[in-house]
Chain A
């Protein structure tokens, strides 16, 4: 897949300008979190289960060499041929070899983000094979010549009307209505049934690989993946090494979180575990099965500080909860994986240089980390990537130096307070009439979208130290005059009326400070006074 992550800002800008799509994204961003919350609410023990799943995932990754070897051995015992692919090209060529070995022409494909990552469809089609996506969402975008905008609902960026247009133009089925979404689903069912029955090779992904007995878990609502896994004579499972889990129970414990996080359902319609080719007495099922295990830098990630990213179970919750994803949509991210998980995976699986904007497409709001069922500290990983950009000087020099200067100044408190006092008061004088700035040379990004509120007046530190000096002077005068300073009673604060009658603190010079404590002096009290 051609990567356009380097033009994220332009992509985003174009996406924001498309108001129809933008509204649809807003609706999804409103409803998907509600569905997820309702599902987790009735489940009740999200945190406990998340803890468990995270521990199991971490354990599996800590001992991935062990579990992968176990899986390989078990899968081979079950009659599979297990292949290893270091990168996407290797996976593609392994798959093509298998297809050619069987002189296969027609491929039925279940939903698989891994094969999006490797660009398998293009690769097979260039070799003259016909590849049909069978997941409805994938089918729609394949027909439209697009890429997925979401890892769970790849065609959610399209309206029903667009899908209708697409089907009318792509399916030669004569006059028909297709007014309802159900009609569209029905038509896809009809068209795709043919392909299922004719396909010679089925290709699916896997949601989990069970090390103890070599089973592979497949989770769908449509049942398309199961048709791909059961009808064609040859089955190829394309997946990655990090999908390994030790036990069957681990796969279904994870599933409890996966489904609720992804769609808000308590359970998907079809959860299948496949072990290999048909058994001796079986009347159906593939005669030959292959499992292709892709690395594509995952072993590097495992050795890096980003290891936790491999715990991802591809539920899409972080996308659904990310306000930036909601704003710009999946395509703006410019590669296979969008949203928070994509902003981490894309730099790691491609390069940080090609995707410098992605880790910055984040306000650190933390919503993704809050809902991630795999317990991945997504905001921390995104910040760590920004750290790497700053270390490797990939971030704009202006920003890097600006922040360093600010920090340097903040480490000289006297100078900081003196300079900010001058600067802020200057800004105040310039802005007080309108209360805001419509444009500021140093903050063009800010003022392109909103005003910049003017500062109230003198800085707090300036006002506060003036008050303290006053107080000190009063205390000194009091001592000389033999009077004791008034001791404040913390239990009986003054009323507003009383406050208002007292003298205002030094403000802008003209009047009591507008936002000040309305005359009440902040007091520094000590216990031994």
Chain B
């Protein structure tokens, strides 16, 4: 029955569509670069990214290197939970962090009920949308993105891109190398809803807090500028 539905649908579509060679169809497709993107709030990529993360109601920190990153993570968790417990996927980048220096060691794996904090290592940070792109898999189980109360995302500044088009270009390279992952999650804010009277409330089903740590060689004023631009 399913098969007959399929052939009926295709027959109807063929009747309604212009038949053309795949090559010609390809050629008739408008180029992706004719789609304008949103203007960036700053010419400096890091500043632009941080500004939009802040506008998306994320919280941000900038750190110069991996030692500072683990320290910042440890401080964040301690500040909120008076503990040093957090969960992270089996990401080689995270495993290689100098955890001992800050006296924390994440549990590597998927989040379990009762564990409030998850850490992810971002595939990319996208300035245009203020989003962190994450890839599902062993290195970052998707549940870590959605079931935690506090979702911490570490973004290496070398992984910042300006637009979604640039993001896809980078992702395509990865995909060509290591195949298609099950999913990509672009996360741009703590979970929210406007479903009751149109009033925006945070902490719907996913994390209530989304904290981005930008790591690397970043202009000293980037964070300050971003706060000013975002009005925070």
CB–CB A284/B6 < 8 A: no
Give which listed residue, A221, A272, A284, contacts B185 with CB less than 8 A: A272
Q: Write the B153-164 contact mask toward A (1 if CB under 8 angstroms, else 0).
A: 000000000001
Query: Does A227 interact with chain B (Cβ within 8 Å)?
Result: yes
Interchain CA distance A159-B195 in the complex, whole Å? 10
CB–CB A256/B25 < 8 A: no
Give which listed residue, A135, A222, A271, A277, contacts B192 with CB less than 8 A: A222
Query: Does A241 interact with chain B (Cβ within 8 Å)?
Result: yes
Q: Write the A27-44 contact mask toward B (1 if CB under 8 angstroms, else 0).
A: 010011000000000111
Give which listed residue, B5, B110, B142, contacts A85 with CB less than 8 A: B5
**Residue count of chain A within 8 Å CB distance of chain B:** 102
Give which listed residue, A56, A163, A278, contacts B30 with CB less than 8 A: A56
A65-B14 CB under 8 A given contacts A136-B193, A137-B195, A299-B9: yes
Which residues from 78 to 103 on chain A have a C-beta closer than 8 Å to any C-beta of chain B? Answer: 78, 83-86, 90, 94
CB–CB A269/B189 < 8 A: yes
**Residue count of chain B within 8 Å CB distance of chain A:** 79
Query: Does B54 interact with chain A (Cβ within 8 Å)?
Result: no
Query: Does B141 interact with chain A (Cβ within 8 Å)?
Result: yes
Chain A residues with Cβ below 8 Å from B171 are: 248
CB–CB B188/A268 < 8 A: yes
- Distance of B225 from chain A, by nearest CB (Å): 18
CB–CB B129/A78 < 8 A: no
Q: Write the A238-261 contact mask toward B (1 if CB under 8 angstroms, else 0).
A: 000100001111101101100000
Stretch at the interface among B59-67, B77-85, B92-100, B198-206: B198-206
Interface of A: prevailing SS: helix
Interchain CA distance A196-B206 in the complex, whole Å? 12
Chain A residues with Cβ below 8 Å from B205 are: 134, 189, 192-193, 196, 222-224, 227
Query: Does B8 interact with chain A (Cβ within 8 Å)?
Result: yes
CB–CB B191/A222 < 8 A: yes
Interchain CA distance A28-B172 in the complex, whole Å? 41
- Distance of A292 from chain B, by nearest CB (Å): 10
CB–CB A31/B13 < 8 A: no
- Distance of B58 from chain A, by nearest CB (Å): 10
Chain B residues with Cβ below 8 Å from A277 are: 182
- Distance of A305 from chain B, by nearest CB (Å): 12
Chain A residues with Cβ below 8 Å from B10 are: 65, 68-69
New A-B pairs, 19, CB < 8 Å, besides A65-B19, A230-B183: A32-B198, A59-B30, A61-B17, A86-B5, A140-B195, A181-B196, A189-B205, A192-B205, A222-B195, A253-B35, A267-B52, A269-B56, A272-B185, A274-B182, A285-B183, A295-B9, A299-B13, A302-B17, A307-B16
Q: Could you show 30 A-B contacts with beta carbons less than 8 Å apart?
A: A66-B20, A68-B13, A137-B193, A140-B196, A153-B198, A182-B203, A185-B203, A185-B204, A193-B205, A215-B180, A222-B191, A222-B192, A223-B204, A230-B143, A247-B29, A249-B35, A249-B168, A252-B168, A266-B55, A266-B130, A267-B131, A269-B191, A270-B185, A270-B187, A271-B131, A278-B182, A299-B9, A299-B13, A299-B16, A302-B12
